[in-house]
Amino acid sequence: MIAMNYRGPRRVRIDHKPYPKILHPNDAIVKVTRSCICGSDLHLYHGMVPDTRVGSTFGHEFIGIVEEIGSSVEKLKVGDHVLVPFNIACGKCAFCKQELYGNCHESNSQATAVGGIFGYSHTAGGYQGGQAEYVRVPYADVGPTIIPPDMDPDDAVLLTDVLPTGYQAAEMGGIQKGDTVVVFGAGPVGIMAAKCAWLFGAARVIVIDHIDYRLEFVKNYANCEAYNFKSMDDPVVFLKKATDWLGADVCIDAVGADAAGSALQTITGKKLLLQAGAATALHWAINSVKKGGIVSIVGVYGPTGNLIPIGNVVNKGITIRANQASVKRLLPKMIEHVQAGRINPKAIITHRVPLEEVAEAYHIFSSKLDNCIKTVLIPPS
Residues interacting with Zn ion, by CB under 5 A? 38, 40, 61, 161
283 binds, among ligand NAD, Zn ion, none (CB under 5 to 8 A by kind): none
Q: What is the CA radius of gyration of the chain?
A: 20
Figure out which of the listed residues 56, 165, 296, 375 binds ligand NAD, where binding follows CB under 6 A. 165
192 binds, among ligand NAD, Zn ion, none (CB under 5 to 8 A by kind): none
Going through 17-133 in order, the beta strands assigned E by DSSP cover: 28-37, 62-69, 81-84, 87-88, 116-117
C-alpha to C-alpha distance for 296 and 7, rounded to whole angstroms: 34
C-alpha to C-alpha distance for 134 and 119, rounded to whole angstroms: 13
Tell me if 229 contacts ligand NAD by CB under 6 A: yes
135 binds, among Zn ion, ligand NAD, none (CB under 5 to 8 A by kind): none
Tell me if 280 contacts ligand NAD by CB under 6 A: yes
Q: Amino acid identity of 166?
A: G
Figure out which of the listed residues 44, 205, 298, 349 binds ligand NAD, where binding follows CB under 6 A. 298
Distance spanning both ends of the chain, measured CA to CA: 11
Work out how close the CB of 309 gets to Zn ion at its nearest, in angstroms, rounded to a whole number. Answer: 28
C-alpha to C-alpha distance for 324 and 124, rounded to whole angstroms: 12
298 binds, among Zn ion, ligand NAD, none (CB under 5 to 8 A by kind): ligand NAD
CB 151 within 8 A of CB 56: no
b/e 141-180 (16+ beta carbons within 10 angstroms → b): ebbbbebeeebebbbbbbbbbbbbbbbbbbbbbebeeebb
Of 39-47, 50-58, 147-155, 311-319: span binding ligand NAD (CB under 6 A): 39-47
b/e 3-22 (16+ beta carbons within 10 angstroms → b): bbbbeeeeebebeebeebeb
C-alpha to C-alpha distance for 81 and 170, rounded to whole angstroms: 29
Of 107-115, 127-135, 237-245, 255-263: span binding ligand NAD (CB under 6 A): 255-263
- Give alpha helix (H) positions in 152-309: 153-158, 162-172, 188-197, 212-221, 235-242, 280-288
Figure out which of the listed residues 281, 331, 348, 358 binds ligand NAD, where binding follows CB under 6 A. 281
Figure out which of the listed residues 34, 81, 210, 329 binds ligand NAD, where binding follows CB under 6 A. 210
**Which of 19, 99 has the CB closer to ligand NAD?**
99
Figure out which of the listed residues 196, 325, 334, 376 binds ligand NAD, where binding follows CB under 6 A. 325
Distance between alpha carbon 315 and the CA centroid of its chain, in Å? 30
Work out how close the CB of 124 gets to ligand NAD at its nearest, in angstroms, rounded to a whole number. Answer: 11
**Which of 170, 255 has the CB closer to ligand NAD?**
255
Q: Which of residues 167-186 bind ligand NAD (CB under 6 A)?
A: 184-186
Backbone conformation region of residue 201, classed left if phi is above 0, alpha if psi is from -120 to 50, else beta: left
Q: Which of residues 42-101 bind ligand NAD (CB under 6 A)?
A: 42-43
Contacting positions for ligand NAD (CB under 6 A): 38-40, 42-43, 161, 165, 184-190, 208-211, 214, 229, 254-256, 258, 263, 280-281, 298-300, 324-325
